[in-house]
Amino acid sequence: KEGMEGQVRLRMAALKDVIEMQHINLVSLPENYQAQYFALHILRWPTLSHVAEAWIPGPRLGHTHEEWDSEAAEASEGPGGHWRVVGYVLATLASPEAAPPAGVPAGMTTGLPAAPLRSHVTSLAVMRSHRRRRIAQCLMLRSMHFMLRDGATSCSLHVRSFNEAAVRLYKHTLAFHVNKTETTYYADGEDAFSMHADLSPESLERVAVSLGPDLAKWALADT
């Protein structure tokens, strides 16, 4: 754990991360997104999307100067190495479209309590080189912390039904449960589990306990 804390850091995603986030998405997941899609999340919901950066010895490879402005390069590089994004979580926040309560005509809901906010995890991925280090769990805890802080009372996501490792992660570490199976949800015809988790200080505390005090503290540093 101490070695990981010395080599990997978590922070909110920024526009300068989009190229690397898209690359991780392309090499890690079958569901791929345009760069503009990542940028939209970062601009629209800036507190909910986060990245994990690893310190890589040696010069940065695979990016041109045109892709990185001088400020980004200065922040991501240093003597003997550079920071490279190795994982990300992408998430949104929205108010659900709810029908008016019984007896209240549509369009006459002024003065009624606002519908609760809900969050949704669009995508979560970690490079193969940095898996099995609980980075995905830490990214999720960090994002869920900000979801709760921003007013969300629940979080949803979709996961391929055959992806047993991911389903275990969401169920046993992050306290999600399966709402339903959505048949042929993905473009290749695979089914998805629609999963849901309640967000509260107590639920996040249980997630933190499952990670252990050191990792939970690291995941929530600077929040």
Q: Would you say 127 and 44 are in contact if contact means Cβ atoms under 8 Å apart?
A: no
Q: Torsions phi, psi of 220, nearest 5?
A: -100, 10
CA–CA dist 149, 91 (Å, integer): 14
Q: Would you say 135 and 86 are in contact if contact means Cβ atoms under 8 Å apart?
A: yes
DSSP per residue, 101-120: PTT--TT--TTSPPPPEEEE
Angle between helices 18-28 and 35-44 (to 10 degrees): 120
Each residue's pLDDT tens digit in the chain (223 positions)? Answer: 444 344 889 999 999 999 999 999 999 988 889 999 999 999 999 999 999 998 887 666 554 433 433 344 444 555 567 789 999 999 999 866 555 555 555 555 455 556 688 999 999 999 998 888 899 999 999 999 999 999 999 999 999 999 999 999 999 889 999 999 999 999 889 999 999 999 999 999 999 999 899 999 989 988 7
